[in-house]
Amino acid sequence: MRVIVLGANGQLGGEVVRHVAARSHKVTAFVRQPPNGLLDQTAEIRLGDARKREDLIAALPGQEVVVNAIGSGTLRKNEVESSTTAVAVAAARQVGISRYIAMSAGMVALDWPLFNYLLRPLIFRNIG
């Protein structure tokens, strides 16, 4: 299977690339900047900005699955995840890809009482 991972330079994206490559799938790492050296060496690298539809349209042909692991990397209020998702889903549909997986490492401790009653209201209040 051919899998493209958006946000492959991040912690979550890098793990996804390693996990998919370890299962002998063909992986394309879609990144804004050249890889930081931590990506699986078997991954094909495609540079582009996932907020730009034309960059994604150029990278998606031949892919069977899109995995979106783009995160904001900040606690400040932003729309990077929602804006890239809107562009990526539309681009995947345009080129005929029906398998789209969105992943996030945010809010991973939702069941932890200290997180719900202290950290979430004080630190993570901008994350919905």
Question: What tens digit of pLDDT does each residue of 24-40 get?
Answer: 999 999 999 988 776 77
Cβ-in-10-Å burial (0-12, 13-18, 19+) of 30 comes to buried
- Triad 80, 83, 86: Cα angle to 5°: 145
DSSP state of 117: I
Residue 115 in any domain: the answer is: yes
Residue 99 in any domain: the answer is: yes
Residues 113, 14, 18, 65, Cα dihedral to 10°? 90
Checking if the pLDDT of 83 tops 70, the result is: yes
Q: For 103-114, what is each residue's pLDDT tens digit?
A: 876 555 456 666
Residue 39 in any domain: the answer is: yes
Q: What percent of the chain has pLDDT over 90?
A: 53
Which pTM value belongs to this model?
A: 0.78
Residue 14 in any domain: the answer is: yes
State how many domains the chain has. Answer: 1
Q: Give the range of the structural domain holding residue 42, as residue numbers without chain letter.
A: 2-122
Checking if the pLDDT of 128 tops 70, the result is: no
